[in-house]
A and B are shown apart, each in its own frame.
Chain A
Amino acid sequence: MPVDYQDVSEPAVRVRGLTRLYPADGEPVRALAGVDAEFGRGTFTAVMGPSGSGKSTLLQCAAGLDRPTGGAVWIGGTELSRLSETKLTELRRGRIGFVFQAFNLIGALTVEENIVLPLRLAGTRPDREWIARVIERVGLGHRLRHRPSALSGGQQQRVAIARALASRPEVIFCDEPTGALDSTTAAEVLALLRGVVDEHGQTVVMVTHDPVAASWADRVMVLADGRIVHDTPQPGAERIAERLAALGRRPAPVEGAAR
């Protein structure tokens, strides 16, 4: 079931000169210090880096959840900085899917209602056939009427993935989707993500700190101090772990070095 794309040559997501400053007492904190990146269609990218490296900020800015201080973001051909909050939301619910680490679902709604929530809020009639296939793909057909509180952590993440797929988005952003799961359940969720990339040509950008999770991706991008320090095809979990460890052993950056 291929997803319709307007232009296959155009990357799904593109960021240029992205900076993000957070106001703080005294010196503002620079979370992103000029990031340029492209995420091609049908690819699975893992964004890694130590705590405070800016990887979550990159995801939030790229996904239109947060507004960058400087630079530009394109989702497909649309540049986000000129969009109003309402337009941005409409873009998110139509062209972007999200999977967060936890608390992904609205407790008041059933599994099925959670999956179709973005479509309902967009006022579009859900494509019944597509939704049925998505639900079948994530293996939750028997739990549609349940509340999220009755599901295990792994099942909740699968519901979140189903919701992300429901609107056939151009890209799915995941923020530590396996961070709260044990390794077996995590593997199930990652296999599911890998599957939607391989079988449906979906684009996935995943922030993680787990080398094993990153090893399911096609490409690993490592951030440190708000900049990309490595950007290579996925070299295997062991190599990723080594690189991260090397990053941890680096001497602490000199004050202001990131600027």
Chain B
Amino acid sequence: MTALAMRMLRHRPGSSAATLLALALGALILTAMGILVESGLRYHPAPVRYAAADLVVARPDTTFTSREFDGEVYESTVALPEGGTVDAALVDEIRRLPGVGSVAGDQGVPVVTAAGTTASGRGWGSAGLTPYRLVEGAAPTGDDQVVLDTATGAGLTVGGRVELVAGGVPRAYTISGLVTGNGTATVFWSDARAAALAPHPGAVSAIGVIARPGADLGQLRAAIARVAGDARVLAGAESGLAERSADRAAAALLVQIGGSFGGYVLLLIVFVVAATVGLSVRHRRRDLALVRAVAATPGQVRRMIMMESALVGVVAGAIGVPCGLAAARWLAGELTGRGFLPAGFPMLPGAIAAPAAFGTVLLAAVLAGLLAARRIAGIRPAEALGEAAAEPTGGGRKRLIGGFVALGSGAAAAIAAVGASGETAMGAALGMLYLFVLAVALLAPWINHAAARLLGPVLRAVFGSSGYLAAANLRAGARGTATVLTSLVLAVGFGGSVWFLQNNLERAAVTQSREGLLATRALIAPAGLPGSAVAGLRAVPAVRAVSPVRHTTVIVPLMGDGEAVAARAVDPATLAAVIDLGVREGSLADLRDGTAAVSASQASMFGWDLGDTVDMRLGDGTAVQTRIVAIYRRGLGFGDVVLPLATVAGHTATNLDDEILISAPASADAGLRAVAAAHPGSTLADTATLTGGLARDLALSAWLNRLLIGVMVGYTVVAAANTMVMAALARRRELALLRLTGVTRRQVRRMVNAEQTGLLGTAVVLGGSIAALTLSSVVRALTGNPVPYVPVLGGAAVLGGVTVLALATTVLPVARLLRVPPVEQIGVKE
């Protein structure tokens, strides 16, 4: 059977070229996405900072426990966005345990050097955990001494002075020594000084333990675990979990992008490949009928079709997977260059992803073959005897029912999408699109038939007798052209919706931010601003209001998992003067410790109402219960959760403010600048810059979305082109017959144009409706405004592009067919 399938393929390579292209592109995309997922899943941070520690006590993540319907306990672990802390008192408790050699609490104090570079500030006691060794000078003592690693201290000498900004406050220190060791830029203070500067008072970011030589690590670990409470005791390679949360967040991002996007593309591949395999089977109806008549059982023909698909899948995998490996390398480079991935993030070569992508493509091919082979049952062997291979025109009852089910599910998804938030909006939109396109694919025979009836008079009026023939062809071939219609609808639907979703998102966010921002100036510092800056700004004459804002992330339980939600911490007393959140219900006047305000989309997604008390975890894992006192509109511009500063104080990585919003007349600028100058690393910005910065941030994340969506839209376009070229080339005999009966070449061309115009018109109406419905329900969910924004140029590009696509992919192949004298083609078997 394999040999027979191979012979069939080699004899008619054209009929499987479309399938090959679709599968190879699919293999490329799946391989690239698979490598993202594999690198994310198998990412394991190797310990650097705690490389010398035998055991590390830390809280790198938080765990959600829920009970499933079947009573099974389900655990989900989320990396803490702000890093967890451990009680500093635990250091002494551990020191008293038997077998402990040395123990040190570690602090990570964000430090900005005079040169503007960032470093991690630590207590000298933790130097041995990495380890760092003195190459010159002595350990720091007192509050004004510091030890630098040789890279940070390049050009400086022991005994010299260096200015460092820690906790937002600049101060000069005497260099007491220089050290070397693995790891990022580091400065060491005395333990007391480090504790004083620590962002979390009374807590350390981790505790490193070095066991006494010969001590039983397992016993020691158990002993520490007994006193450590809910903190984790990490050993060996696991210790890396306690460091570098940026890498872990990146790993999670890779899994998320690769997984969701790979899934959508997989659906698309099955969809497209099922169509192309189906088309090639349809075009070989007579061959298959002959095989059935003389020898093959229905099962054998089915196996042959599946084997053919599988062979094409193997070739496609062999082409697509290596290309995917190259694409993954390029993508990883771009992601690093654009800041989605930390530099040096270990991307894997795809030892699992490549075979998995290969297998998936093969499976998709076989599945598509299986779907197409179902049609074989409809081929009667007696068809081999007939002169013309007549096709049944209508679809079956099952197809009709399936179509209406898909249509209904699509409508239900549209309603569900209204309740979705920004992160899930894309998923909801894609789900809707797939369901609607599936409905069109299933109902296509009836749609084509109805469209041909409706458009018949129009086509006759415009194209004359060619239009008459075109309408007749559309009506008779309603089922055959279903694939063409579906691929056009897919291209219009995809191009017209998901592509513009990003535009709408950005536009809404910038608009909300612009409308809601009442402040006239803002002081911004990437490393954070201390309370002294707020006081300094308030002291400037003529300033009306000064309000500090912190950007953080909270983790909210959602169906057993922890969902990270962007949050702002604000000063409730002064907020109203600088930001208008667009409160719909409740009042921000009630915002105090233990309460929160949430955006409308957040509230609807999580099912929260005004007055509800909800569970959240702060960025460092601290569980809080907050009562919702206000629900506001401008979530895209200002984050989905607003907490009072008092709630998050001591629970963020820096414990400093990210920006200070100022309401002041222009005359106060000089005074404001003086405060900015007193805080190195900070800049005074006007609100246009602030809004512009948001737009830039969004554009950055939009790059990734656009790339992924672009690939999907591109894929649908290639698939549509594929299908139409294939369908056009299969008409050689029919067109030759028309020409032999006296239809001129010009008339044939006009007839084909008329058919394509009819199909295109139907596709644009259907695809446009699907796109409009999808876009409007998602945009409504995000912004509350049901009218989506479609850039004129973008809309024109989609319509123009699909028109060019529809005509070029049919007219060119048909023109090629028409160059050959018809008598040469009439003898050709179909």
Contact = CB atoms under 8 A, between A and B. Distances in A.
A90 B298 CA distance: 11
A121 B300 contact: yes
Interface string B605-639: 00000000000000000000000000000000000
Contacts of B10: 108
A103 B11 contact: no
Contact of A66 (B295, B299, B382): B382
Q: Which of B4, B290, B295 has the most CB of A within 10 A?
A: B295
Interface string B270-306: 0000000000000000110011111111111000000
A103 B829 contact: yes
A80 to B, nearest CB: 13
A135 interface: no
A117 B287 contact: no
A107 interface: yes
Interface in B1-55: 4, 7-8, 10-12
A122 B384 CA distance: 20
B295 A118 contact: yes
Nearest to A101: B385
Nearest to A66: B382
A108 B8 contact: yes
Contacts of A163: 294
B381 interface: yes
Contacts of B290: 100, 103-106
A112 to B, nearest CB: 12
A168 interface: no
A85 B298 contact: yes
A71 B645 CA distance: 90
Nearest to A118: B295
A92 B829 contact: no
Contacts of B11: 107-108
Nearest to B296: A121
A89 B379 CA distance: 13
Given A103-B290, A121-B300, A89 B295 contact: yes
B380 interface: yes
A103 B295 contact: no
Interface residues of B, number: 25
A89 B297 contact: yes
B606 to A, nearest CB: 56
Contacts of A98: 293-294
Contacts of B299: 86
Interface in A74-132: 85-86, 89-90, 92-93, 98, 100-101, 103-109, 113, 117-118, 120-122
A121 to B, nearest CB: 4
B293 A92 contact: yes
B298 A86 contact: yes
A107 to B, nearest CB: 6
Given A104-B290, A107-B11, A93 B384 contact: no
B7 A103 contact: no
A107 B297 contact: no
A3 interface: no
A65 B300 contact: no
Contacts of B380: 65-66
A122 B295 contact: yes
B295 A92 contact: yes
A108 B12 contact: yes
B7 A113 contact: yes
Interface string B543-567: 0000000000000000000000000
Nearest to A102: B387
A105 B829 CA distance: 11
B588 to A, nearest CB: 73
Contacts of A106: 8, 287, 290-291
Contacts of B286: 103
A56 B384 CA distance: 12
A93 B295 contact: yes
B7 A109 contact: yes
A85 B7 CA distance: 26
Interface string A13-31: 0000000000000000000
A192 B297 CA distance: 29
A89 B385 contact: no
A250 to B, nearest CB: 27
A56 B297 contact: no
B599 to A, nearest CB: 61
A60 interface: yes
A96 to B, nearest CB: 9
Interface string B456-495: 0000000000000000000000000000000000000000
A175 B384 CA distance: 11
Contacts of B381: 65, 89, 92
A175 B385 contact: yes
Interface in B377-400: 380-382, 384-385
A117 B291 CA distance: 9
A103 B384 CA distance: 8
A85 to B, nearest CB: 6
B824 to A, nearest CB: 13
A86 B380 CA distance: 13
Interface string A173-205: 001000000000000000000000000000000
Contacts of A122: 295
A105 B290 CA distance: 8
B360 to A, nearest CB: 29
A89 B292 CA distance: 7
Interface in B336-386: 380-382, 384-385
Contact of A65 (B7, B293, B298): B293
Q: Which of A107, A118, A175 has the most CB of B within 10 A?
A: A107
Given A100-B385, A107-B829, A90 B4 contact: no
B301 to A, nearest CB: 9
A195 B94 CA distance: 104
A86 B293 contact: no
A60 B287 contact: no
B480 to A, nearest CB: 20
Contacts of B384: 65, 100, 103
A86 B297 contact: yes
A117 B382 contact: no
B297 A117 contact: no
Contacts of A107: 11, 287, 829
B295 A121 contact: yes
A108 B295 contact: no
Contacts of A118: 294-295
Contacts of A101: 385
Contacts of A175: 385
Interface in A237-259: none
Q: Which of B291, B300, B380, B385 has the most CB of A within 10 A?
A: B385
Q: Which 6 A-B pairs have the closest CB atoms?
A: A108-B11, A118-B295, A89-B297, A121-B295, A93-B295, A65-B382
Given A105-B290, A120-B4, 20 more contacts: A65-B380, A65-B382, A85-B297, A89-B292, A89-B381, A92-B293, A92-B294, A92-B295, A93-B296, A100-B290, A100-B384, A101-B385, A103-B290, A103-B384, A106-B291, A107-B11, A108-B8, A121-B291, A121-B297, A163-B294
10 contacts: A56-B385, A93-B296, A103-B290, A103-B829, A107-B829, A108-B8, A109-B4, A109-B7, A118-B295, A121-B295
Interface of A: 56, 60, 65-66, 85-86, 89-90, 92-93, 98, 100-101, 103-109, 113, 117-118, 120-122, 163, 175
